[in-house]
Chains A and B, each alone.
Chain A
């Protein structure tokens, strides 16, 4: 059998006949009744809501002319969202580990005028400091690598001497102590910034508590609040930039 089996005319005739034969089927009345029962309960949408009213050539629903567009757009959208998410996460300052989901570590406490640590079950007691002066108020940095504390003065003959002391930090094992603010009156416990670069605390200035921030490498210190009102018990927000009092 060859291509000459059908001429264009006979093929066209065959197609028309075939379609005419296949066109027969159940009557359209039930379809019309169902459609009208639905349209009777609804109202036409306002013209201004319909994009085909304003956009020339707009179709109520795009014809399918190739690969379906929706899945492709969905994948592209997800990829774009992933890129944006990565960019956003990447631009955030990373908090030092194990900030976040960290297991409980050791407990720091004061005993015999020195700083100690122990496991939460009380085992493995370790003395961190051995200085003859009295150490207190231990607070770990958020990554657990350093510890801030108050070190009382040597001269215990001074009136209310226990209210005085140095604001200090050391490594987590007590080594390399640095005095950040020496011989201050009524220092509060310290609060660490997320990145461990700063601590905030309050201390008395001319009889009024004021908030201070200090670089933990000992390089700088700044008074944050002023005035005749007490400002005390500061803490640093997770961003490490605000210090509510």
Chain B
């Protein structure tokens, strides 16, 4: 009995510290956040704030800037999902084929992913502004090569290009794992049956890498939806606030305009959207696993 009790106490020592930190850093602020989003809290002491019901949530949808940022983020995420996965899958196919120096190529394609989004944005800022201007002048084509960050449309695509450059290597790694797990026997059998590279890809590789596709879909989706660092360093929401993504909008609502309760309501909506997407994703994966 005594020994059992002692065991229990040691067990608690293993769990309590982590649990204590976790509850104070994640759980309590999360619950506070939900409560604050229903009040008129101004960012300082909570005392003196009063409950305002759903007023903040109503204001969120009346806030044109937020609605614009939301749709811009949705468009950005959509374009990113398509482009990152096309580029990532192509690179994965390339480095798992008979190409020479696969290891080197793989290493190079993955490299941008290790450099933080903030620093990536700064590197590309120089390219889109100074380098493009100079290139446009020297080859007399200022229709394509001009200062991209001066134009709202081009700035959006600049964000996409940097995002693809950063994330393609990451999804590539996941596709590679999946492609390499396809057994050689299947491929050899198909070859003996006279299948061309294209049929092999269409009828063997693509169906077998479907799980990797689901993972990558979700990885790209959630990373693009939460994009902040590159947005900050590359365009900082400009020109004229035209490239402000949703997280930047939340950030400026709180820390530039001091509308803390409103910002918190926005961040709860942001969380709900991410949760909804994840549930859909998990649900669809489970469903497919059953079918397989």
A binds B: no
